[in-house]
Amino acid sequence: MKTKKVFAAILALALAMGFGTTAFAKENTHTTPGTETIGVEGSYVGTGNLTDRYSVKIEWGEMTFTYNTTGDRTWDPETHTYSVTDTDGWKASGNTVTVTNHSNLPVDVAFSFTKADVNGTYTGTMSVTSQQLAAGVENKPAEADSVQSTLTLDGTLNALQTTSTKLGDITVSLTAVETQP
């Protein structure tokens, strides 16, 4: 009987000291029915190293352009130019570049067009000249950050250029983004 009293005293002392009880950092008492939102925090701790890896996908269309004239063209021997009685213009096929970042780091993307040494007074403009793409999100490859830039041409092409020729080059530049430690 004396052993039971000693055990009961030790158990009571352990409960009084907090052994076997649950402690909450925060609590809230509701006096009416309702809901409670409890924030949950966490962090990643590991002994291995994470490897930075760049993987950027660049896709483009046909990149073909045709300069169309629909009216009469009259040669001016003084200026060596044609005067056109109707509207001229460029027709593009597949003139978009798409860049998708599958890296675990952000990247800066820049687009530019350089005209080739072809007779004509045309210029090229990219719809997006630069943009930062966010790093990929783990387990969400379909949500990878991407950008599209479309090339448009303005001006004219030499009327004697009736076969396909190189009009210029699009340059896509990828640059690492400086990250803070």
Residue, of 59 and 76, whose pLDDT is higher: 59
Per-residue pLDDT tens over the stretch 13-58: 444 444 444 444 567 777 788 888 888 999 878 888 878 999 999 9
**pTM over the 0.85 mark:** no
Per-residue pLDDT tens over the stretch 85-115: 667 789 999 999 999 999 999 999 999 999 9
For 113, the token pair is: 């067009």
Give CA separation, 40 vs 5, 76, 130, 163, in Å: 43, 78, 37, 66
Band of residue 7 on the pLDDT scale cut at 50, 70, 90: very low
* Contact (CB, 8 A) for 82 and 161: no
Residues 6+ apart with CB under 8 A from 135: 101, 103, 104, 105, 106, 145
Predicted local distance difference test score (pLDDT) of residue 49: 81
Report which of 180, 175, 176, 158 is spatially closest to residue 167, judged by C-alpha positions: 158
Between CA 115 and CA 167 the distance in angstroms is 6
Predicted local distance difference test score (pLDDT) of residue 12: 46
Between CA 115 and CA 92 the distance in angstroms is 16
Predicted local distance difference test score (pLDDT) of residue 20: 46
Query: Quick one: average pLDDT of 148-167?
Result: 91
Q: Is the dihedral of CA 153, 156, 162, 166 positive or negative?
A: negative
